[in-house]
Amino acid sequence: MKWLERNLERRTDPRVILPGAQAVVCLALNYYPGEREPNPNYRIARYSWNDDYHDIIEEKLGDLDLAMRDLGGTQRSYVDTGPVLERDFATEAGIGWNGKSTVQIHTVLGTWFFLAELITTLPLPPDSPQNDHCGKCTACMTACPTNAIPRPHFVDAPRCISYLTIEHKGHIAREFRAAMGNRIYGCDDCLAVCPWNKYATRTDEPKLRARDDLRAPELATLAALDDAAFRRLFAGSPIKRTGRDRFVRNVLIAIGNSGEQALVAPAQSRLHDPSPLVRAMAVWALARLLDEARFAALRADHLPTETDPSVRTEWTAS
């Protein structure tokens, strides 16, 4: 997360990004696909049940940019990909407020929406900032499985399951693996418990509804994905950004937490995976699923031939 410390001037002053900028147009797009999980055996953050939101929103921003050019403006647009403090700008623009989980909350959309911005040279009149309506509620803080929100308006990112399953490139610390449960990409817990979601309605954008091809695969199928199969399955999905090795790492943690003996074989097949990251989590999953004698037999067969230190550590620590 060190990248957050870079380009502070660009993050705090839009005029550094776009000389002559006079306003930031903030926009929100409802992505709520409904309550039902695509597959009950694992959990994927709702925003990624569908096509990649970057592509969808950038197309819409392009249309708005053309209209603003006709008014004489020059624009720079962002969809969480640039040095823009989008939640703070959204609050100042009156869209919502940053809740105690730091997630932006809207009085009608709840927590289920994307943010985007157009920095413009047009002299647009400002809207009134939004007030904080969280009150004494701490539901988001209580719901966090890893205690990543220890105090209001502060997230300890290295503990957050969304960070661990999506952004974190290495081995996930053992202290967080059981708490991940069957979450294989992201986590919605702090969003889902927000009382303001009682007003949320299903998105009317078809491209943001759950994709049928994400309903079918089981954990065993996902664990068996090689790089080519991963890219085919998640083509056009935000999940593709995390990469095959990290994704299968997450799947194996879910397998280890499942308690399902039927998933021993899929986990065992990953002991010979080219990725040490995957092999290590296969070891951890098998240590959770097998009794002591069966795991010891596997260790006797595989540990002598394992060369990666991180995988050897899993064999000896489990």
Active site residues: 80
> Which residue(s) pair with 78 in the sheet?
117
Select from 126, 106, 123, 107 the least CA-distant residue to 115.
106
b or e along 30-55 (b: 16 or more beta carbons within 10 Å of the residue's beta carbon)? Answer: bbbbeeebbbebbbbbbbbbbbbbee
Quick one: which H or E segment has residue 97? strand 97-98
Residue type, 119: I
CA distance 312 to 314: 5
Please, are residues 39 and 212 in contact by the beta-carbon 8 Å criterion? no
CA distance 137 to 149: 13
